[in-house]
């Protein structure tokens, strides 16, 4: 038998011996390294079920398919949601947002009306049906890699479809950064979005009101000059104050 001559031979012997020793230990001890899955499952099962609910006004939809997602839904209890709903209703009322969005060229669902109720600090009784918030809504936080900042967020109906709209500006230090450039982005149900740049660069923009399929944006933020834009959600075009479309193309990612 040849003696061990190289480090690699020595390492091989070392590995074989250690593996053999560990096998002896493993067989002798038979102790699992991890918590059994069944125990864990039992622990988890003690947690209350997360109730996925959507808040919707009855006139919009009595029920919403739980499989559908629109980017701003929440997992919580119904009672909890009511508190937040009331708070948001107050905000929505303050914006005087008009929520009579019907498609401009096709018959649509009944006009959605919105009646704010005062906020309350105590949870109310469980809502009989899920409700969907329309109007100005709280913006859902994004990741820090998201290339835009969102100053305002809005949800409404366009051509019978629920549409989420955000407005803001391009972020500083990003690929196509231009913090002077205001943007509107329209979210799709699958979580994707299309971005539309304001016709002129006046800084960020904030949604001030909505009427029909049109949303009105005002500039908002550092160093901006006064400006107002109108964006038509049906045509996805900016318009002049007189209603003339301004050629608008979505930003290519």
Partner 1 sequence: MQTRQSKKLKTCKEAILVTLIVTAGVVIFALIVSNYQVSRARAAVLAQTGCQPPTWCVVSSPNPDLVYNELDGIAVIGYNDAWAVGVDGFPNRYNRRAITEHWDGGSWTVISPTQKGDGSNNLAAVTAVSSNSVWAVGSYYTATYPNNYFQYPLIQHYSNGSWQDISGTISPDAMCGGSALAAVAALSDNDVWAIGAYNVGDTGMCFPPPNPPATNVKVNHPYAQHCSLQPVVTCTLTLPPYAGVGYNAVNGIAAISTTNVWAVGSYSSDGIPRSVGAPRPLILHYTGVWTTTTSPSLTVDSVLNAVDYYNANDIWAVGTQLVSGSQQTLVEHYDGSIWKVANNIPNPGANNILRSVFMTNERDIWAVGQYDTNSSTNSLILHWHGFSNNDINGDKWDVITGTNPSTYNNQFMGVAAVPGNSTPITHTWAVGSYNSGGNTLVENIAAPPAPISTTSYYETSVDPNAHYQQGCAAAQRGENGVVVLDYGKPKDWGASSSHSRYGTLLVGTGATAYITSSSFSGNEIQYSVERFADGYANCYGKTQTSTITIAIGINNHNEDGLASLTSAHAAAWATMTNQIANHVVSYSMISGMAAAIDAEPDFADQSSTDYDFSKVLTWTNAFSGQSFESYYDFGSTDGYPCPRPEPPLPPRLGCSNWSASQFYTLTWGIPAARPIPEIYKPLYASEWYQLKHWALDNHLDLPRFYGEMTECQSSSCTPPNDYSAEQGWQTLWMKLNGDPNMVQSLIWSTDVVCSNGSPRQGCKP
Residues 158 to 197: which contact partner 1 by CB under 8 A?
A: 168, 171-175, 179-180, 187, 191-193
The answer to whether residue 252 forms part of the interface with partner 1 (CB under 8 A) is: no
CA distance 151 to 40: 42
DSSP letter string over 177-221?
Answer: --TT-EEEEEE-TTS-EEEEE-SS--S-EEEEEEETTEEEEEE-S
CB of 75 to partner 1, least distance (A): 4
Among 118, 125, 145, 243, binds partner 1 (CB under 8 A): 145
Stretch that binds partner 1, among 94-102, 108-116, 149-157, 241-249 (CB under 8 A): 149-157
CB of 102 to partner 1, least distance (A): 27
CB of 12 to partner 1, least distance (A): 11
Q: How many helices (H) and strands (E) does the chain have?
A: 3, 12
CA distance 150 to 141: 9
Stretch that binds partner 1, among 13-21, 105-113, 226-234, 242-250 (CB under 8 A): 13-21
Q: Which residues, 6 or more positions from 96, have their beta carbon under 8 angstroms from its beta carbon?
A: 209
The answer to whether residue 141 forms part of the interface with partner 1 (CB under 8 A) is: yes
Residues 26 to 65: which contact partner 1 by CB under 8 A?
A: 27-31, 33-35, 40, 44, 46-48, 50
Q: Residue 246: enclosing H or E segment and its boundaries?
A: strand 245-246
Do 179 and 198 touch, CB atoms closer than 8 A?
no
Do 124 and 82 touch, CB atoms closer than 8 A?
yes
CA distance 211 to 102: 9
Among 57, 97, 214, 224, binds partner 1 (CB under 8 A): 224
Stretch that binds partner 1, among 8-16, 56-64, 110-118, 236-244 (CB under 8 A): 8-16
Residues 74 to 103: which contact partner 1 by CB under 8 A?
A: 74-77, 79-81, 83-84, 87, 91
Structure tokens at 167: 């407005």
Among 140, 227, 234, 246, binds partner 1 (CB under 8 A): 140
């Amino acid at each position: 038998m040849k003696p061990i001559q190289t480090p690699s031979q020595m390492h091989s012997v070392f590995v074989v011996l250690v593996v053999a020793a560990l096998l002896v230990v493993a067989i002798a001890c038979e102790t699992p390294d991890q918590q059994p899955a069944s125990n864990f499952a039992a622990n988890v099962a003690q947690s209350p079920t997360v109730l996925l609910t959507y808040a919707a006004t009855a006139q919009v939809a009595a029920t919403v398919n739980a499989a559908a997602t629109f980017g701003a839904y929440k997992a919580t209890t119904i009672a909890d949601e009511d508190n937040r709903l009331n708070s948001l209703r107050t905000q929505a009322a303050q914006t005087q947002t008009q929520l009579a969005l019907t498609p401009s060229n096709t018959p649509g669902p009944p006009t959605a009306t919105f009646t704010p109720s005062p906020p309350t600090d105590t949870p109310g009784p469980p809502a009989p049906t899920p409700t969907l918030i329309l109007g100005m809504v709280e913006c859902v936080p994004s990741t820090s890699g998201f290339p835009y900042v969102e100053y305002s967020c809005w949800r409404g109906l366009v051509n019978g479809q629920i549409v989420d709209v955000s407005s803001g500006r391009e972020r500083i230090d990003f690929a196509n950064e231009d913090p002077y450039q205001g943007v509107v982005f329209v979210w799709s149900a699958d979580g994707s979005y299309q971005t539309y740049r304001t016709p002129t660069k006046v800084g960020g923009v904030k949604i001030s009101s909505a009427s029909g399929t049109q949303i009105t944006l005002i500039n908002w933020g550092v160093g901006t000059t006064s400006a107002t834009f109108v964006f038509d959600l049906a045509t996805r075009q900016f318009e002049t104050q007189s209603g003339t479309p301004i050629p608008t193309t979505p930003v290519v990612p």
